Structure 1
């Protein structure tokens, strides 16, 4: 049977299990497993490509997660309505510069990943990766939104 036909069923199965769990680290691991299955189907990696791809991608994914959740979370905590209303122009400028620096770090991290991936994947597969990432996160957010509507 074609894996692409089974994938939606597997995603649904894992997603139901994902929402039933309570532990955050378990949820992160389940999302990672869903991502691996989704990307594997979308990218159609050979065993040699997968062997080289996953360590690179996992390193990238962990670093970008760290940047997004540590630095951006700290910056966004300073952007409450109350904090913004009390902020002077100099403080706002500093905060904006910090946000831009974090965005730049994320951009450079992605650029480094793409450069590394070019040594193991065809450019078309790198583009498919970007599309797969976008589609995966869109579906994840959609399922999370659908779950919220049922409550």
Structure 2
């Protein structure tokens, strides 16, 4: 592992500690975004030109994706977690299922549009690496969350 990747990895580990201590949702989201920028930049080795064009596209995509997941699924999540699913009617279940399907389709179309836009900014190899970097980043973030909860 070269020094650049090692230093970025150490920065990520330290940053994850700060992430775990943050209190507000907005702060956490901004911290995650900063970590993601550092991680993706290292993994994808962006040129200055690529980075200038990529990040506005990605941030818009990421914000829209968060909004869809957070806001549209809030009612369903509340219903799933309050124990009332045992009493749900077939009509209500059909409605919730329809909501889930619509949200999933919107997320798919959002990602598809993002991929079309990013093709004009990054070569195909970096777009494939982006997909892997997203998965790796999410896995590391989830692992950090799990480790934090195990210590409690």
Query: Which bracket does the TM-score occupy, shorter chain normalised?
Result: over 0.9
Q: 1:1-151 alignment to 2 at 5 Å?
A: 2-80=3-81, 82-151=83-152
Aligned residues: 151
Measure, in 2, the Cα distance between the counterparts of 1:35 and 1:74.
28
State the Cα RMSD in Å: 1.4
| Corresponding residue SS for 1:119 | coil
Relative to structure 2, which stretch is displaced further, 128-137 or 70-79? 70-79
Stretches (4+) displaced over 4 A: none
- Give how far 1:38 is off: 0.2
- Give how far 1:46 is off: 0.7
- Give how far 1:6 is off: 0.9
TM-score normalised to the size of structure 2? 0.93
Post-superposition Cα deviations, 1:127-149, rounded to whole Å, max 9, x if no partner, equal 11111111101101101100111
TM-score normalised to the size of structure 1? 0.93
Distance 1:31 1:82, change over 3 A: closer
Post-superposition Cα deviations, 1:82-116, rounded to whole Å, max 9, x if no partner, equal 42222221221111011000000000000000000
Q: 5+ residue gaps in structure 1?
A: none
Post-superposition Cα deviations, 1:32-88, rounded to whole Å, max 9, x if no partner, equal 110000000011111111110000000000000001111112222222474222222
